[in-house]
Amino acid sequence: MYKFKYHLLLLLLLMAGNIRAQQAKHTFALADSVFLLDGKPFQMISGEMHYPRIPREAWRARMKMAKAMGLNTIGTYVFWNLHEPQKGKFDFTGNNDIAEFVKIAQQEGLWVILRPSPYVCAEWEFGGYPYWLQNEKGLVVRSKETQYLKEYETYIKEVGKILAPLQINHGGNVLMVQIENEYGSYGSDKDYLAINQKMFKEAGFDGLLYTCDPAADLMKGYLPGLLPAVNGLDDPKKVKQLVRENHNGKGPFYIAEWYPAWFDWWGTPHHTVPAEKYAGRLDSVLAAGISINMYMFHGGTTRDFMNGANYKDGTPYEPQISSYDYDAPLDEAGNPTPKFIAFRNVIQKHLAPGVTMPAVPAAKPAMAIPAVKLTAAVNILQHLPKPVNNSLPLTFEDLQQDYGYVLYRTQVKGNGNEKLTIKGLRDYAVIMVNGKTAGTLDRRLNQDSLNLNLPKGSVTLDILVENLGRINFGKYLLQNKKGITGSVMLNNSELKGWQIYSLPMANINHLKFGSTGVNYTSPTLQKGSFTLSEVKDTYFNMSDWGKGVVWINGHNLGRYWRVGPQQTLYVPAEWLKKGRNEVVVFDMIKPGKNIVSVDKPILDQVRQ
């Protein structure tokens, strides 16, 4: 028995040594003009794709498509507000399992560029920051302010525990790690960037670190000693000149974000760019030996309430739509587009000797299912939680609430036509008088007042406010509180004495639906079911509805809004099942009775 245990221990030690040897078999380094993988020149041909925007069940399929277009690398951000949604409570499970995403990429023969930042922009709620940072007294994001650095350090160390072991110098497939993100478009504090670098290293990111910035801001955003990558520039001569000017006259040369298209926001036309406009540019960049990461290769969908918004002085507030199709080479459902084929043909010309492309997988089938009748409903006013009472309106942040909706209720004395004014509305409100919708206010349109006809006597005034997405870029990052952030006036009198109800709608399983007695003249939740004998992708066509959110089998598909340009919600086959499926719709302004589906998306219809 002793000899058996001895030989078993020896075998285990040999196996462990062999595993360590295998893990250490790759190196990745910078040369004067190229990247070196295992000492040999290596050109990254990369595409961005984000794990939370793709159902976990489809990660591998999307990566196979990446390989089929000729990519050897994928890039992804890491999203702080997903992984620490409440202070000190971390989540790396399910669709948040970024480590599994990276490991699947390795299994599929793909390298990874990792961007834990922790600011990501990405048309994502608050640029990736968790909402609760705004509740930390004195905290200033993207600065050397003490409280921010403390929270940042806690977060990045948790990320490091999971992802640092997956770097190439530890046997994984992560080639490089980005600190901060387009910081030059925000500030120029090199000491702050150096703190970023130090924290990343202390978190275990001991391989190659880099910065990325738009060309105009690169000088402000790079940290001497790190590789400066450039965003949005694809003239090979200018790329090389810019990098050399900021990197001791050397390369390598890396376009960290190359934009073959763009994103959309509510109420504006769908953005598309013909493939032929960019195929030649891709050809010239690859011919010059420059590494590239196309943003996006595959956008997917920004589900739940995670879309961000843009806002700057002199422009409207611009919340982004749920579809992140991006007119990318791989569409929202993961199917190749003409842009995919055009880019594949270009990349094929520049493959390293001995490298071949796999065949392009077949497109996923899609279907239109028969209209789904919604047979049960509950009015939002019939199912309210316990309120918080306060003299003045409280914000989402005051209520420790991240996303969704807040209902504000007070009693007023009616006296005919009166003007309601909401100061600091963020972002969209449905105003109800005695339980019936009287009008809406929209921050996008700079609307802050509404004329109401109030019956005489005591009147219940309800204001349902939706967080349409916190600003994700620019100087207003810390002016991102949601709800009613100012006062509410009726004529010239400030209204006080509020009952405030949190409605985050993160979980709707507790709702009790009924089939009778529902008031459809104010925001309503409705439920229905349908049966499938086979599952395929489909798209719910919400163009006859008003504004709201849809859940399928418990999965939040994202927002719809009749203003467009997005009129459909993508329903992944991975979230459907043979047999009974359940759908729930919450509509704020125009509840319907049926849901119609189609087999193609509608992303280009704008209405007013």
Query: Is the Cβ–Cβ distance between 67 and 109 less than 8 Å?
Result: yes
pLDDT of residue 310: 97
143 strand-pairing partners: none
Give the rounded distance of the alpha carbon of 502 from its chain centre. Answer: 23
Does residue 106 lie in a domain region?
A: yes
Residue finishing a domain among 503, 534, 555:
503
561 strand-pairing partners: 547
487 lies in the same domain as 517: no
Does residue 265 lie in a domain region?
A: yes
55 lies in the same domain as 132: yes
199 lies in the same domain as 254: yes
Q: Give SS3 for 141.
A: coil
Give the integer Cα–Cα distance in Å for 298 and 53. Answer: 9
Give the integer Cα–Cα distance in Å for 300 and 324. Answer: 5
Give the integer Cα–Cα distance in Å for 251 and 247. Answer: 7
Does residue 17 lie in a domain region?
A: no
Q: Give SS3 for 397.
A: coil
Smallest CA-to-CA distance from 388 within 511, 497, 481, 484 is with 497
Helix and strand numbers (H, E) in the chain are 10, 31
- Measuring CA to CA, how many Å separate 382 from each of 378, 465, 523, 524? 7, 17, 10, 9
285 lies in the same domain as 161: yes
Residues 6+ apart with CB under 8 A from 600: 366, 539
pLDDT of residue 9: 54
Q: For the chain, how many structural domains are there in total?
A: 3
Give the integer Cα–Cα distance in Å for 351 and 329. Answer: 18
535 lies in the same domain as 553: yes
Does residue 3 lie in a domain region?
A: no
Does residue 310 lie in a domain region?
A: yes
pLDDT of residue 332: 98
Q: What are the residue numbers of the active site?
A: 182, 257
Does residue 303 lie in a domain region?
A: yes
Give the integer Cα–Cα distance in Å for 388 and 393. Answer: 10
Structural domain span for residue 273: 40-348
324 lies in the same domain as 411: no
Does residue 571 lie in a domain region?
A: yes
SS3 content of the chain, % helix, strand, coil (to 5): 25, 30, 45
Q: Name the token pair of 295.
A: 């943003």
Query: Is the Cβ–Cβ distance between 284 and 236 less than 8 Å?
Result: yes
491 lies in the same domain as 554: no
CATH number, residue 534: 2.60.120.260
- Pairing assessment for the beta strands 73-77 and 111-117 based on DSSP bridges: parallel
Rounded to the nearest 10 degrees, what angle do helices 59-69 and 98-107 cross at?
A: 40
47 lies in the same domain as 112: yes
Does residue 126 lie in a domain region?
A: yes
Give the integer Cα–Cα distance in Å for 187 and 185. Answer: 6
Amino acid at 512: K
pLDDT of residue 510: 82
121 lies in the same domain as 200: yes
157 lies in the same domain as 251: yes
CATH number, residue 156: 3.20.20.80
Amino acid at 418: E
> What letter does residue 359 receive in the DSSP assignment?
P
The position carrying tokens 């399992």 is 97
DSSP assignment of 494-556 equals E---EEEEEE--S--TT---BSSS--TTS-EEEEEEEEESS--BEEEE-TTS-EEEEEETTEE
Q: Name the token pair of 132.
A: 């609760």
- Mean pLDDT of each 10-residue bin along the chain, 608 residues long: 51 47 73 96 98 98 98 98 97 98 98 96 98 96 97 98 98 98 96 98 98 96 95 97 94 97 97 96 98 98 97 94 98 98 97 90 96 93 94 98 98 94 98 96 97 96 98 93 97 96 92 76 93 98 97 97 98 98 96 94 94
Q: Give SS3 for 353.
A: coil
The position carrying tokens 């119609």 is 596
Task: Give me Rg for the CA atoms of the chain.
Answer: 26
Give the integer Cα–Cα distance in Å for 383 and 32. Answer: 65
Residue finishing a domain among 485, 503, 521:
503
Give the rounded distance of the alpha carbon of 422 from its chain centre. Answer: 29
Q: What's phi and psi for 197, nearest 5 deg?
A: -60, -45
590 lies in the same domain as 565: yes
452 lies in the same domain as 534: no
Residue finishing a domain among 477, 503, 529:
503
Q: Give this prediction's pTM.
A: 0.94
